[in-house]
Amino acid sequence: MSGPGEQGGPGGQGGPGGQGGLGEPGADRLARALLSRVVEPGDEAGGRWVRERGAVEVARWLRSREDMLPGVSPRRWGGLTARAARADPERDLAVAAEAGVRFVCPGDAEWPGTLDDLGDARPLGLWLRGRPDLRMWALRSVAVVGARACTEYGAHMAATLAAGLAERGWVVVSGGAYGIDGAAHRGALGAGGATVAVLACGVDRPYPRGHTELINRIAEQGLVVGELPPGDHPTPSRFVLRNRVIAALTRGTVVVEAAYRSGSLVTARAAQRLGRHAMGVPGPATSGLSAGVHELLRGEGVVLVTDAAEVVELVGDMGELAPDRRGPVFPRDLLEPGARRVLAALPGRRSAPADEVAREAGTTADDALARLYELGALGYVERLGDGWKLTRQAMVSVRVGGHPR
């Protein structure tokens, strides 16, 4: 294989027809690196060409400027061939290696098989910055996404969810953006856990710039992932298309806050199409930033979640169940049902004879009397002449746990 800059750039093409190293060992990787600079992420026409003809043949075709491949207009084909003429995949791979970035392709041991569910929209390859194995991390991962301009509530929920997932051994995947994404990454890192940032640009140039320190920290402790080669910049369409990778990598997607047109809803819907779990965290009914989540939750197949345990119960293995949700347990809840009925039958502000209590409780007078003595021993009732009355302890229990008659 020729060295960096020896082929692929303007005036620097080597080999027959300007293909350079595309006929040598490692040609598929080199071709995919070239195509990652030529074909936009998620381009199904390009993905179909690669599936039908192979990456090497598609790269050669684009550089030869011969007849168009099917599925694109002449104008678009002209743009693709112009990009191909300027592309320098060997230089991209060399620059990546210098920055500690590796290029992973389908068929590599580290390639996550879950990405294959994207069909022709599957990434041509992924540029990775960080030491962990992406395939292994993706096996037990959850996406946490949401609004960039989030509320304090949203940031708190995202960080808490991510920390809880990390503490349970799950990898938190998000997009590295401001707002919910950043809160999720920080929550996972703060819990000493694993997190992956999937960017819509080259992984050597953190975006947004305000998150440079955060993304560098993720690269040190986790993984930064992208489809675009070193130095490439984000665009609005690339942000949207990036979301399909987040959805495909993970077992499920949790949306914490999202307005009606939020890109995070695209991630959740992509997760549904791919057969993954889609989840939403409810917010105030008056919050526009929760309106998109609420609309999502009204749809079929989306599950409401409020903490990490509920997420894991949905996406995890059999037996990873969230604890039962119930209110506080009061002492009176521990009484046997018959005793609770007798206690509930006593008036709140006066004493009552045993036969009246029996009628209210739906039992016999003898049974009611026996229960009243039991309740008296426990401090719930006291005897006043021929009647029985609730004690102060019982009145407090009734006010907290129910309603006095």
CA proximity to 258, closest of 158, 168, 353: 158
For 192, half-sphere exposure in the C-beta direction (CA atoms, 13 angstrom radius) is: 2
Summarize pLDDT for 314-359 with one digit per residue, the tens: 998 744 555 655 656 556 667 788 888 888 888 878 888 988 999 9
pLDDT of residue 324: 59
Strand pairing class (302-304; 277-280) = parallel
Q: Which residues in the chain land under pLDDT 50?
A: 1-20, 318-319, 399-405
CA proximity to 350, closest of 386, 296, 297: 386
User: What percentage of the chain carries pLDDT values higher than 90?
Assistant: 66
**166 phi and psi, to 5 degrees?**
-60, -40
What b/e string do you get for 63-95 counting C-beta neighbours within 10 Å, with b at 16 or more? beeeeebeebeeeebeebbebbbebbbbbbbeb
CA distance 138 to 249: 6
CA distance 8 to 356: 97
Topology (CATH level 3) of domain 331-401 = Arc Repressor Mutant, subunit A (1.10.10)
Q: Specify the CATH number of the domain 114-315.
A: 3.40.50.450
Domain ranges within the chain, ordered by starting residue: 16-98, 114-315, 331-401
When the pLDDT of each residue in the chain is averaged and rounded to a whole number, the result is 87
pLDDT of residue 404: 41
pTM attached to this predicted model: 0.77
What tokens appear for 51 in the block?
Answer: 């599936």
Strand pairing class (171-174; 195-199) = parallel
What tokens appear for 215 in the block?
Answer: 């993304």
Alpha helices in 223-378 (DSSP H): 236-249, 263-273, 288-298, 308-315, 337-345, 354-361, 365-377
pLDDT of residue 68: 84
pLDDT of residue 200: 96
pLDDT of residue 335: 79
Handedness of CA 60, 64, 69, 72 (dihedral sign): positive
Sheet holding 381-384, edge to edge: 352-353, 387-390, 381-384
pLDDT of residue 154: 96
- Asked if residues 169 and 195 have their Cβ atoms less than 8 Å apart, the reply is no
For residue 331, whether the previous peptide bond is cis, meaning omega lies within 30 degrees of 0, is no
